[in-house]
Amino acid sequence: MSAPPAEDLLQQWESEQARLRQQVLEEDTEDWQGSPDFSGLERVGGVDLSFIKGDDVNACAQLVVLSYPDLQVLYEDSQMVTLTAPYIAGFLAFRETPFLLEALQRLKKNQPTLLPQVVFVDGNGLFHYREFGLACHLGVLSGLPCVGVAKNLLQVQGVNKSEEHQSQIAALQRGGDSFPLIGASGKVLGKALRSSDKSSKPVYVSVGHKISLDTAVRLTHACCRYRVPEPIRQADCRSREYLRIHFPAADT
């Protein structure tokens, strides 16, 4: 008796994640990453998907490219897409990556001089059930350095919202302060970062591809005007605005 289609799909996806996981580079690969002020970094990207409320199939896939260090928008691409893959926890990338990758490919084809040198992803990288979240998936397939920045703690591999975790958050005194997220295996999977002096609630930073964790954390802080790094914040704001303009009757 054959396995149900859903089980077949999960096995296929797990196998694909394991294959691509072998290609992730967890160290700095670009000259600008080793510079104290990221000298040579001129363009930072951000991606996000926004859904119309009550619709988990039709979404606005958004790419923005900002100048660095002044964080002004140089390029934006808003595209309505129809997601076909089901949502299954731990496999978000199979729903979202194809459309985010297409946006990067359109930019590379049409305005290659604006291609970002690093991409911020609204989600996790190595801080994931199988150490291969959305930021890793997009990084490996695009070949670009990627950083995962999640707004909420993924309780995975022994990391959870324990009293110790809450006390570590309380100890983050100023923007730039961080502490490691250590899995049950002892491996550091990411870091909780107080990204702004104004926000005591941290974000969770993890490596996507072609960048070290320390550099990812430092760069995330450098790109924050508020709690969420500006490339992700702009992608989110612009995708939501696109939905408001094009679907005014819908409650977004």
> Could you give the count of Cα atoms lying within 13 Å of 4 in the half-sphere of its Cβ?
3
Instruction: Please give the pLDDT value at position 1.
Output: 40
Dist CA 115 CA 129 (whole Å):
30
- Could you tell me which residues come within 8 angstroms of residue 19 by beta carbon, excluding any fewer than 6 positions away? none
The domains of the chain, with CATH numbers, are 20-245 (3.30.2170.10)
> 1 by DSSP, 3-state: which?
coil
Across the chain, mean pLDDT equals: 94
Tokens 């297409």: give the residue: 102
Rounded distance between C-alpha atoms, residue 112 and residue 135, angstroms: 21
pLDDT at 72 (0 to 100): 98
Mean pLDDT of 213-230: 98
Q: ∠43-49-50 over CA atoms, to 5°?
A: 125
User: Could you tell me the pTM of the whole model?
Assistant: 0.95
Length of the chain: 252
Best CA proximity match to 203, nearest among 118, 116, 95, 127? 127
Concatenated DSSP letters of 92-154 = THHHHHHHHHHHHHHHHHH-GGG--SEEEEES-SSSSTTS--HHHHHHHHH-S-EEEEESS--
Phi, psi at 83, each rounded to 5°: -80, 135
Q: Report whether pLDDT(4) > 60.
A: no
What was the pLDDT predicted at 251? Answer: 57
- Amino acid at position 8, single letter: D
Does residue 2 register a pLDDT over 50? Answer: no
Q: What is the mean pLDDT of residues 145-151?
A: 98
pLDDT digits (tens, 9 = 90+) for 76-105: 999 999 999 998 989 999 999 999 999 999
Dist CA 137 CA 131 (whole Å): 10
Half-sphere exposure of 193 (CA within 13 A, CB side): 30
pLDDT confidence bin for 244, thresholds 50/70/90: very high
